[in-house]
Amino acid sequence: MNFLRARTIFAFIAVAPLAAVCAALFTQHVLGMQPCPWCVFQRLIFLGAAVWGLLGLLWTGELGRRLAGAMALATALGGMAAALWHYFVAASSATCNQTLADRVVSGWFGLDALLPEVFEARASCADAAAKLLGVPYPLLSLSLFTLLALASIVVLRVRR
């Protein structure tokens, strides 16, 4: 695989998570599906993956490409863990306030106050257990995080 293929993969790593966040915002603001803290946390992780994809596109050196690929992989693995926790634990909880997701988004970064239309959790995890095309949102997120992890592994294997 050549360097141009690595750039194509980084473009995927940059664009796919942004598309997922746009889709989540569409379902929230147009279709009225309000997010829970774990939904919002996964948005943040998707945006982090997109940043690493963009940096992988911009950095032309081998070290920069490898760093961006490794960080994209770590971010995707974290997203997979968050999606699994959301599906198996949080979605069946009556409340998901003051969990890790809530503390990161609201407490540590204060993103819910800075950009409430994007990062404010407006429902409990049990209330926000929505499906898109019959598939629960956490499983859709898990699928994309898995694709991002696989793409990151492929880009790490590229030799100049």
Task: Please give the full DSSP string across 88-130, using - where no structure is assigned.
Answer: HTGGGSS--TTSHHHIIIIIIS-HHHH-HHHH---S-TTTT--
How confident is the model at residue 33, as a pLDDT?
86
pLDDT tens, position by position, 30-70: 988 888 888 898 999 999 999 999 999 998 788 999 999 99
The model carries a pTM of 0.88
pLDDT tens, position by position, 93-150: 766 666 766 667 666 677 676 767 777 777 776 666 677 788 888 999 999 999 999 9
User: Domain tally for the chain?
Assistant: 1
How confident is the model at residue 107, as a pLDDT?
67
How confident is the model at residue 103, as a pLDDT?
63
- The CATH number linked to 118 is 1.20.1550.10
How confident is the model at residue 69, as a pLDDT?
95
Report residue 131: phi and psi, to 5°. Answer: -125, 150
Provide the domain limits for residue 75: 3-157
